Chains A and B, each alone.
Chain A
Amino acid sequence: MSEKELLVRKIENGTVIDHIPAGLGLKVANILRIEKNNSSSVILINVDSKKLGKKDVVKVENKVLDEKEVNKIALIAPDATLNIIKDWKVVEKKKVSLPEFLEGVVKCPNKNCITNSEEIPAKFWVEKKNPIRLRCYYCERVFGKDEVI
């Protein structure tokens, strides 16, 4: 789908997160805390997509995602693509991918896990990618993505 059809202007610099499953665009925007970003952001919901039928798209101006943000997006939208925009052009296009090990990305939902009482980032082994199953490195409990996001 072209930018004209989307009725949303291109961004000069920043990141476009594409191929987000429909309905999860707001969650991605929350992960990126777009409200804290001084530049403009756009969330497109239920856009027609050849690949997904319907999809959401998030555009964030003047922001390059860090590794933790990318990993967190991969948790909820494993097929999302990132388009890095510089001077109005896509200079890099990549698929998000979930690493084998996540550190400091999400909190452990187990209230009795040591990570929720000492000042340490939660860490997870990604045991399965489809459906996502994460094993807490510390308390060893296994969680689905809905429990950690």
Chain B
Amino acid sequence: MSFTGKDIISIIDLSKQEIEEILKEAEKMERLLKEKEKLDLLSGKILANLFFEPSTRTRLSFATAMQKLGGEVIGFEEIGTTSLAKGETLADTIKVVEKYSDVIVIRHPKEGSARFAAEISEKPVINAGDGANQHPTQTLLDLYTINKLKGRIEGLKVALVGDLKHGRVMRSLAYGLAMFKASLTFVSPVGLEFPEDFTREIVEKFDCEIIQTDNIASGIKNADVIYVCRIQKERFEDAYEAEKVQKSFMLDAKTIEKTKEDAIILHALPRTVEIDRSIDKTQKAKYFEQAYYGVPVRMAILKMVCL
């Protein structure tokens, strides 16, 4: 199967086989990274990093990935310095940028923006986050991390913890994990669960079992993987209530004492208060390692769509 010229817009566009192929290629990239400092596979190619919204890890790891492959990077990280600030449409920006580059990475606050950009561009487009919708390369690196650290995905007990209603990361990940037949527990405060439609869809599509709870202790107790995301204060009308929920969903040394000995804790970062810094030193904390895997996974994707 060929990825040449393919857009990577949403995890729902990818088959299990395609994901496995990307993960295999990422493994190769990780090996190559260890063996050699810089590669020249994408020498002469240009990546346009279009970040209409702020990002640290995703933007930098795409830039690092491209440079490690011998390619070059152009782009912007805020619209204040671009023609968009003067009222240029996204369509026009893409039409211009595709002439300058060989591959486009886009993060944009509007949902569906990456798919729209892909319709306009003849060059492959990679979605680096479109509003609250999708963040497929994050899901790919999450699946890569889990597979790398646990040796498999199928049958693993994975707890997704936090605000599941609003984040694009958790939605894409739940879909990917269900596709790989992980056993899922959704742990979220009441009112911040995945939309019912979404849960029903993945249960029907992948015939997977899902447990839903608002009790963090029981939700993570038997998990092999505990994936945490931020609970944003601005989602609550009452600041006191927000703080209370944030605190009750915080992982600290005491909470994780009662988890499996070989459980791993992941987080797409940036974190605020949901994972106490005292956990960083434990064997269970794998979120910084997870962030590193963003580079080989994005190298694999860039190589596959550009060559």
Interface residues of A (CB under 8 A from B): 110, 112-115, 117-120, 133, 136-142
Whether B133 pairs with A139 at a CB distance below 8 angstroms is: yes
Whether B111 pairs with A112 at a CB distance below 8 angstroms is: yes
Question: Which residues of A have CB within 8 Å of B130?
Answer: 114, 139
Whether B115 pairs with A112 at a CB distance below 8 angstroms is: no
Q: Whole-angstrom distance from the CB of A75 to the nearest CB of chain B?
A: 18
Whether B133 pairs with A140 at a CB distance below 8 angstroms is: yes
With A112-B131, A114-B116, A118-B116: A138-B111 Cβ-Cβ less than 8 Å: yes
Query: B12 at the A/B interface (Cβ < 8 Å)?
Result: yes
Question: Which residues of A have CB within 8 Å of B115?
Answer: 114, 137-138
Question: Which residues of A have CB within 8 Å of B14?
Answer: none
Select B91's contact among A113, A118, A137, A141, beta carbons within 8 Å.
Answer: A118
17 residue pairs bridging A and B, Cβ less than 8 Å apart: A112-B132, A113-B110, A114-B90, A114-B108, A114-B110, A114-B113, A114-B130, A117-B110, A133-B197, A137-B115, A138-B111, A138-B113, A139-B130, A139-B133, A140-B12, A140-B133, A141-B111
Interface class of chain A by DSSP = loop
Q: Please, which residue of chain B has its CB at the minimum distance from the CB of A120?
A: B116
Whether A138 pairs with B89 at a CB distance below 8 angstroms is: no
Q: Chain B 1-31 against A: per-residue CB contact (8 Å), 1 yes, 0 no?
A: 0000000001010000000000000000000
Whether B112 pairs with A138 at a CB distance below 8 angstroms is: yes
Q: Whole-angstrom distance from the CB of A58 to the nearest CB of chain B?
A: 32
Q: Whole-angstrom distance from the CB of A131 to the nearest CB of chain B?
A: 12
Q: How far is the CA of A113 from the CA of B197 in the complex (A)?
A: 18
With A113-B110, A117-B110: A140-B116 Cβ-Cβ less than 8 Å: no
Select B89's contact among A118, A133, A141, beta carbons within 8 Å.
Answer: A118
* Residue of B108, B110, B198 ringed by the most chain A CB atoms within 10 A: B110
Q: Please, which residue of chain B has its CB at the minimum distance from the CB of A136?
A: B112
Whether A112 pairs with B109 at a CB distance below 8 angstroms is: yes
Q: How far is the CA of A95 from the CA of B30 in the complex (A)?
A: 58
Which residues of chain B (98-134) have a CB below 8 Å from chain A? 108-113, 115-116, 130-134
Q: Whole-angstrom distance from the CB of B109 to the nearest CB of chain A?
A: 7
Whether A140 pairs with B89 at a CB distance below 8 angstroms is: no
The 9 A-B residue pairs with the shortest CB-CB distance, nearest first, are A138-B112, A139-B111, A114-B112, A139-B112, A114-B110, A114-B113, A114-B116, A142-B197, A138-B115
Q: Please, which residue of chain B has its CB at the minimum distance from the CB of A137?
A: B115
Question: Which residues of B have CB within 8 Å of A142?
Answer: 197-198, 201
Whether B90 pairs with A118 at a CB distance below 8 angstroms is: yes
Question: Which residues of B have CB within 8 Å of A136?
Answer: 112
Question: Which residues of B have CB within 8 Å of A140?
Answer: 10, 12, 111-112, 133-134
- Given A114-B90, A139-B131, 5 other A-B contacts at CB below 8 A? A112-B109, A113-B110, A138-B112, A138-B113, A139-B130
Q: How far is the CA of A35 from the CA of B150 in the complex (A)?
A: 65
Q: How far is the CA of A139 from the CA of B197 in the complex (A)?
A: 15
Question: Which residues of A have CB within 8 Å of B112?
Answer: 113-115, 136-140
Which residues of chain B (51-91) have a CB below 8 Å from chain A? 89-91
